[in-house]
Protein backbone atom coordinates (compact mmCIF):
# COMPACT_ATOMS: atom_id res chain seq x y z
CA UNK A 1 0.00 0.00 0.00
CA UNK A 2 1.19 3.48 -0.85
CA UNK A 3 -0.67 6.57 0.21
CA UNK A 4 -0.11 10.20 -0.65
CA UNK A 5 -1.71 13.54 -0.02
CA UNK A 6 -1.45 16.34 -2.60
CA UNK A 7 1.22 14.38 -4.39
CA UNK A 8 3.36 13.88 -1.28
CA UNK A 9 4.04 10.39 0.04
CA UNK A 10 2.60 9.87 3.54
CA UNK A 11 2.72 6.17 4.22
CA UNK A 12 3.48 2.76 2.80
CA UNK A 13 3.27 -0.81 4.04
CA UNK A 14 3.42 -4.34 2.76
CA UNK A 15 2.17 -7.71 4.00
CA UNK A 16 2.53 -11.38 3.11
CA UNK A 17 -0.64 -13.28 4.04
CA UNK A 18 -2.66 -16.36 3.08
CA UNK A 19 -5.27 -15.72 0.36
CA UNK A 20 -8.02 -16.20 2.94
CA UNK A 21 -6.90 -13.05 4.79
CA UNK A 22 -6.50 -10.74 1.81
CA UNK A 23 -9.80 -8.90 2.27
CA UNK A 24 -9.25 -8.18 5.90
CA UNK A 25 -5.64 -7.07 5.41
CA UNK A 26 -6.53 -4.75 2.52
CA UNK A 27 -9.13 -3.14 4.78
CA UNK A 28 -6.65 -2.56 7.56
CA UNK A 29 -4.13 -1.03 5.13
CA UNK A 30 -6.75 1.39 3.82
CA UNK A 31 -7.67 2.27 7.40
CA UNK A 32 -4.04 2.95 8.11
CA UNK A 33 -3.61 5.19 5.05
CA UNK A 34 -6.48 7.37 6.30
CA UNK A 35 -5.16 7.70 9.83
CA UNK A 36 -1.45 8.41 9.38
CA UNK A 37 0.12 11.08 11.57
CA UNK A 38 1.42 12.86 8.48
CA UNK A 39 -2.13 13.51 7.28
CA UNK A 40 -5.06 11.75 5.64
CA UNK A 41 -4.45 10.27 2.19
CA UNK A 42 -6.20 11.64 -0.90
CA UNK A 43 -4.71 8.90 -3.08
CA UNK A 44 -4.12 5.28 -2.11
CA UNK A 45 -2.56 2.60 -4.31
CA UNK A 46 -2.92 -1.04 -3.38
CA UNK A 47 -1.18 -3.77 -5.30
CA UNK A 48 -1.91 -7.47 -4.76
CA UNK A 49 0.49 -10.06 -6.02
CA UNK A 50 0.59 -13.83 -5.80
CA UNK A 51 3.92 -15.05 -4.44
CA UNK A 52 5.16 -17.82 -6.73
CA UNK A 53 8.11 -18.86 -4.62
CA UNK A 54 7.73 -20.40 -1.16
CA UNK A 55 8.89 -17.75 1.36
CA UNK A 56 12.06 -18.41 3.33
CA UNK A 57 11.27 -18.73 7.07
CA UNK A 58 13.73 -17.06 9.41
CA UNK A 59 13.78 -15.95 13.08
CA UNK A 60 13.73 -12.22 13.89
CA UNK A 61 16.76 -10.40 15.19
CA UNK A 62 16.99 -10.22 18.96
CA UNK A 63 15.87 -6.72 19.99
CA UNK A 64 17.68 -4.58 22.58
CA UNK A 65 16.73 -1.13 23.80
CA UNK A 66 19.19 1.22 25.47
CA UNK A 67 17.79 2.19 28.88
CA UNK A 68 20.37 4.86 29.77
CA UNK A 69 20.62 6.72 26.48
CA UNK A 70 21.01 10.07 28.27
CA UNK A 71 24.43 9.16 29.71
CA UNK A 72 26.08 9.09 26.28
CA UNK A 73 26.44 11.20 23.18
CA UNK A 74 24.89 9.76 20.03
CA UNK A 75 28.38 9.70 18.45
CA UNK A 76 29.63 7.47 21.27
CA UNK A 77 26.71 5.10 20.94
CA UNK A 78 26.92 4.78 17.17
CA UNK A 79 30.69 4.43 16.98
CA UNK A 80 30.99 1.92 19.84
CA UNK A 81 28.27 -0.28 18.42
CA UNK A 82 29.81 -0.38 14.95
CA UNK A 83 33.25 -1.14 16.38
CA UNK A 84 31.79 -4.43 17.60
CA UNK A 85 31.63 -5.67 14.00
CA UNK A 86 34.94 -4.08 12.98
CA UNK A 87 33.64 -0.84 11.46
CA UNK A 88 35.78 2.10 12.53
CA UNK A 89 34.58 5.32 14.11
CA UNK A 90 35.32 7.53 11.08
CA UNK A 91 33.25 5.30 8.80
CA UNK A 92 30.22 4.92 11.05
CA UNK A 93 30.09 8.61 11.95
CA UNK A 94 30.53 9.69 8.34
CA UNK A 95 27.54 7.54 7.37
CA UNK A 96 25.54 8.88 10.32
CA UNK A 97 26.17 12.46 9.16
CA UNK A 98 25.40 11.60 5.55
CA UNK A 99 21.99 10.18 6.50
CA UNK A 100 21.23 13.33 8.43
CA UNK A 101 22.15 15.71 5.65
CA UNK A 102 20.08 14.16 2.83
CA UNK A 103 21.96 11.14 1.42
CA UNK A 104 20.73 11.53 -2.18
CA UNK A 105 23.12 13.47 -4.47
CA UNK A 106 20.42 16.19 -4.73
CA UNK A 107 20.42 16.60 -0.93
CA UNK A 108 17.03 14.94 -0.38
CA UNK A 109 16.17 11.71 1.41
CA UNK A 110 16.43 8.52 -0.62
CA UNK A 111 13.49 6.12 -1.05
CA UNK A 112 15.80 3.19 -0.37
CA UNK A 113 19.07 2.50 1.39
CA UNK A 114 22.73 3.19 0.75
CA UNK A 115 25.06 0.20 0.51
CA UNK A 116 28.36 0.91 2.23
CA UNK A 117 31.57 -1.10 2.02
CA UNK A 118 32.48 -1.62 5.68
CA UNK A 119 36.28 -1.40 5.30
CA UNK A 120 36.39 1.76 3.15
CA UNK A 121 33.08 3.57 3.67
CA UNK A 122 32.61 3.58 -0.10
CA UNK A 123 29.03 3.71 -1.38
CA UNK A 124 28.18 0.83 -3.68
CA UNK A 125 24.47 1.24 -4.50
CA UNK A 126 24.00 1.57 -8.28
CA UNK A 127 21.47 4.42 -7.99
CA UNK A 128 22.26 6.87 -5.18
CA UNK A 129 19.11 8.89 -5.77
CA UNK A 130 16.79 5.94 -5.16
CA UNK A 131 18.91 3.49 -3.17
CA UNK A 132 18.04 -0.17 -2.60
CA UNK A 133 14.58 -1.16 -1.32
CA UNK A 134 14.06 -4.20 0.87
CA UNK A 135 10.63 -5.74 0.15
CA UNK A 136 8.71 -9.03 0.31
CA UNK A 137 8.86 -9.58 4.06
CA UNK A 138 6.44 -9.92 6.97
CA UNK A 139 5.93 -11.48 10.40
CA UNK A 140 3.75 -14.57 10.64
CA UNK A 141 0.69 -14.07 12.81
CA UNK A 142 2.21 -15.92 15.76
CA UNK A 143 5.55 -14.09 15.55
CA UNK A 144 3.67 -10.78 15.50
CA UNK A 145 1.72 -11.86 18.58
CA UNK A 146 4.97 -12.64 20.47
CA UNK A 147 6.44 -9.32 19.35
CA UNK A 148 3.41 -7.42 20.67
CA UNK A 149 3.44 -9.30 23.96
CA UNK A 150 7.16 -8.73 24.48
CA UNK A 151 7.20 -5.02 23.60
CA UNK A 152 3.93 -4.09 25.35
CA UNK A 153 3.43 -0.34 25.64
CA UNK A 154 6.58 0.29 23.58
CA UNK A 155 5.00 -1.30 20.51
CA UNK A 156 4.63 1.00 17.50
CA UNK A 157 3.83 0.19 13.86
CA UNK A 158 7.18 1.74 12.78
CA UNK A 159 9.03 -0.37 15.32
CA UNK A 160 7.39 -3.59 14.09
CA UNK A 161 8.08 -2.84 10.45
CA UNK A 162 11.68 -1.92 11.16
CA UNK A 163 12.29 -5.21 13.00
CA UNK A 164 10.80 -7.15 10.07
CA UNK A 165 12.88 -5.23 7.52
CA UNK A 166 16.11 -5.43 9.48
CA UNK A 167 15.68 -9.15 10.20
CA UNK A 168 15.51 -9.80 6.47
CA UNK A 169 18.38 -7.43 5.71
CA UNK A 170 20.80 -8.90 8.28
CA UNK A 171 19.93 -12.39 7.06
CA UNK A 172 21.41 -11.51 3.66
CA UNK A 173 24.83 -12.99 2.91
CA UNK A 174 27.50 -10.27 2.98
CA UNK A 175 25.59 -7.74 5.12
CA UNK A 176 27.10 -7.20 8.58
CA UNK A 177 25.26 -4.15 9.88
CA UNK A 178 22.51 -1.61 9.29
CA UNK A 179 21.99 1.97 10.47
CA UNK A 180 18.50 3.51 10.33
CA UNK A 181 17.12 6.95 11.09
CA UNK A 182 13.49 7.75 10.27
CA UNK A 183 12.83 10.62 7.89
CA UNK A 184 9.71 11.51 9.88
CA UNK A 185 10.48 14.80 11.71
CA UNK A 186 8.63 13.58 14.83
CA UNK A 187 10.01 10.04 14.97
CA UNK A 188 13.42 10.36 16.57
CA UNK A 189 13.96 6.73 17.60
CA UNK A 190 16.31 4.88 15.27
CA UNK A 191 18.38 1.72 15.42
CA UNK A 192 21.62 -0.03 14.62
CA UNK A 193 21.53 -3.75 13.76
CA UNK A 194 24.67 -5.85 14.02
CA UNK A 195 25.40 -9.39 12.89
CA UNK A 196 25.91 -11.57 15.97
CA UNK A 197 24.08 -9.16 18.30
CA UNK A 198 20.75 -7.99 16.96
CA UNK A 199 18.64 -4.85 16.65
CA UNK A 200 19.63 -2.07 19.05
CA UNK A 201 16.90 0.51 19.51
CA UNK A 202 18.25 4.02 20.13
CA UNK A 203 16.14 6.91 21.36
CA UNK A 204 16.94 10.47 20.25
CA UNK A 205 18.95 9.33 17.28
CA UNK A 206 18.28 12.74 15.73
CA UNK A 207 16.93 16.10 16.85
CA UNK A 208 13.14 16.55 16.86
CA UNK A 209 11.96 18.38 13.74
CA UNK A 210 14.77 17.13 11.51
CA UNK A 211 13.24 16.11 8.14
CA UNK A 212 16.18 13.92 7.12
CA UNK A 213 16.96 10.26 7.69
CA UNK A 214 17.73 7.12 5.80
CA UNK A 215 19.19 3.66 5.91
CA UNK A 216 22.63 2.22 5.24
CA UNK A 217 23.43 -1.47 4.77
CA UNK A 218 27.10 -2.29 5.47
CA UNK A 219 28.67 -5.08 3.42
CA UNK A 220 31.97 -6.95 3.62
CA UNK A 221 34.60 -6.36 0.95
CA UNK A 222 34.07 -8.42 -2.19
CA UNK A 223 30.37 -8.91 -1.56
CA UNK A 224 28.43 -9.52 -4.74
CA UNK A 225 26.26 -6.38 -4.64
CA UNK A 226 23.99 -7.61 -7.45
CA UNK A 227 23.16 -10.72 -5.44
CA UNK A 228 22.50 -8.61 -2.33
CA UNK A 229 20.12 -6.37 -4.24
CA UNK A 230 18.35 -9.31 -5.82
CA UNK A 231 17.82 -10.92 -2.41
CA UNK A 232 16.62 -7.71 -0.74
CA UNK A 233 14.31 -6.64 -3.57
CA UNK A 234 12.86 -10.02 -4.61
CA UNK A 235 13.21 -12.91 -2.16
CA UNK A 236 10.05 -13.46 -0.07
CA UNK A 237 10.91 -13.87 3.62
CA UNK A 238 8.59 -14.65 6.54
CA UNK A 239 9.78 -13.97 10.08
CA UNK A 240 8.21 -16.90 11.92
CA UNK A 241 9.74 -16.51 15.41
CA UNK A 242 10.39 -13.47 17.59
CA UNK A 243 13.77 -13.76 19.33
CA UNK A 244 13.15 -11.54 22.36
CA UNK A 245 13.21 -7.99 23.66
CA UNK A 246 15.72 -6.80 26.28
CA UNK A 247 15.81 -3.37 27.89
CA UNK A 248 19.36 -2.88 29.20
CA UNK A 249 22.09 -0.35 29.87
CA UNK A 250 24.38 0.58 27.00
CA UNK A 251 27.39 -1.05 28.67
CA UNK A 252 25.44 -4.25 29.16
CA UNK A 253 24.36 -4.30 25.53
CA UNK A 254 27.95 -3.74 24.39
CA UNK A 255 29.02 -6.76 26.42
CA UNK A 256 26.61 -9.19 24.74
N1 LIG B 1 14.14 -0.50 2.05
C2 LIG B 1 15.26 0.25 2.16
N3 LIG B 1 15.27 1.47 2.68
C4 LIG B 1 14.11 1.98 3.09
C5 LIG B 1 12.88 1.27 3.01
C6 LIG B 1 12.94 -0.03 2.44
N7 LIG B 1 11.84 -0.77 2.31
N8 LIG B 1 11.89 2.05 3.51
C9 LIG B 1 12.47 3.19 3.90
N10 LIG B 1 13.81 3.17 3.64
C11 LIG B 1 14.79 4.21 3.93
C12 LIG B 1 14.49 5.50 3.21
O13 LIG B 1 15.71 6.10 2.89
C14 LIG B 1 13.82 6.33 4.27
O15 LIG B 1 14.11 7.69 4.12
C16 LIG B 1 14.47 5.83 5.54
O17 LIG B 1 14.75 4.46 5.31
C18 LIG B 1 13.60 5.97 6.77
O19 LIG B 1 12.33 5.39 6.50
O20 LIG B 1 12.55 0.87 16.93
O21 LIG B 1 10.19 5.00 10.22
O22 LIG B 1 9.99 4.81 6.95
O23 LIG B 1 10.96 2.41 16.88
O24 LIG B 1 11.00 6.98 7.91
C25 LIG B 1 12.74 3.02 12.96
C26 LIG B 1 12.01 2.37 14.07
C27 LIG B 1 11.72 3.71 12.13
C28 LIG B 1 12.76 2.55 15.30
C29 LIG B 1 12.26 3.88 10.78
O30 LIG B 1 11.78 4.71 8.70
C31 LIG B 1 12.02 1.89 16.45
C32 LIG B 1 11.29 4.58 9.90
P33 LIG B 1 11.16 5.54 7.51
MG1 LIG C 1 9.07 7.72 6.87
pLDDT at 37: 67
Which residues are CB-neighbours of 190 under 8 A, at least 6 positions away? Answer: 179, 180, 181, 182, 202, 205, 206, 213
pLDDT at 9: 82
Nearest-CA residue for ligand 1 atom 31 is 159
> Distance between the two ends of the chain, CA-based, in angstroms?
37
Backbone angles phi, psi at 117, to 5 degrees: -75, 120
Mean pLDDT by 10 residues, the chain (256 residues): 89 94 96 80 95 96 98 98 98 98 95 97 98 98 98 95 98 98 94 98 97 97 98 98 98 97
Q: Which of 215, 242, 245 to mutate to test the pocket of ligand 1 (most atoms within 8 A of CB)?
A: 215
The conformational region for residue 206 under phi > 0 = left, psi -120 to 50 = alpha, else beta, is beta
Nearest-CA residue for ligand 1 atom 33 is 182
Amino acid sequence: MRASSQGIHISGAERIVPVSQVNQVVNSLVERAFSHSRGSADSISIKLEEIKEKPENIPSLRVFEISDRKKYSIEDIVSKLFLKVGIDRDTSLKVYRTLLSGPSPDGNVMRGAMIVEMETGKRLEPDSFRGVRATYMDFTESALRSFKEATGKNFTENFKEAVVLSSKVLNCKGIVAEMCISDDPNYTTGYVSLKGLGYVRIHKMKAKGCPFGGRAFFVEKETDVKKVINYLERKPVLIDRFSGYTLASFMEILSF
